[in-house]
């Protein structure tokens, strides 16, 4: 496959929005891509809109767990393999579906996910920083915010 020249022209993107993403499976997938000649891969996560077509509110904890799993994948992979992460925010499952999780209700999730990626994890200090940035007094990640 590497003789085709394709690995020099494209970089694969591995998509997974699950909170319990299979870290070991993703690491093995990256190894397969490397054996095929791809030197770089991208990850794709979501900060909203990937948990149900009728979802109105964003469950921050689901997306935070997904990003923490992607960080584990990155730390268990060769240091030079990750080109970047596409942090997606889906609003529609297809063009015939109603909109779900509009951006205003998902901004706290976006802030939490970005801070987790920026800091390589999530802690009480990071949570407090997000609350301060957003002007919120109590950021809830395990239940829907009121």
Report the predicted TM-score, pTM, of the whole model to 2 decimal places: 0.91
Q: What is the pLDDT of residue 14?
A: 98
Do the Cβ atoms of 10 and 40 come closer than 8 Å?
Answer: no
Give the pLDDT of residue 1.
73
For residues 69 and 20, is the Cβ–Cβ distance under 8 A? yes
Q: What is the predicted pLDDT for the residue at 143?
A: 80
Position 2 scores a pLDDT of: 67
Q: How many CA atoms lie within 13 A of 53 on its CB side?
A: 6
Q: Which two tokens stand for residue 21?
A: 């993403």
Q: What is the pLDDT along the chain (146 residues), one digit of tens a residue?
A: 767 888 889 999 999 999 999 999 999 999 999 999 999 999 999 999 988 888 888 999 999 999 999 999 999 999 999 999 999 999 888 888 888 899 999 999 999 999 999 999 999 999 999 999 999 988 988 887 65
């Amino acid at each position: 496959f590497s003789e085709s020249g394709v690995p020099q022209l494209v970089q694969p993107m591995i998509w997974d929005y699950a909170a319990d993403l299979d870290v070991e499976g993703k690491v093995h997938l990256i190894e397969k891509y490397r054996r095929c000649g791809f030197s770089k891969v991208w990850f794709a996560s979501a900060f909203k809109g990937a948990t149900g077509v009728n979802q109105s509110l964003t469950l921050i904890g689901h997306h935070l767990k997904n990003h923490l799993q992607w960080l584990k994948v990155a730390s268990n992979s060769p240091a030079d393999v990750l080109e970047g992460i596409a942090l997606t925010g889906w609003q529609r499952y297809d063009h015939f579906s109603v909109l779900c999780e509009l951006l205003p209700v998902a901004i706290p999730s976006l802030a939490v996910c970005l801070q987790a990626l920026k800091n390589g994890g999530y802690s009480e200090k990071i949570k407090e920083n997000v609350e301060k940035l957003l002007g919120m007094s109590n950021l809830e990640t395990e239940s829907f915010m009121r």
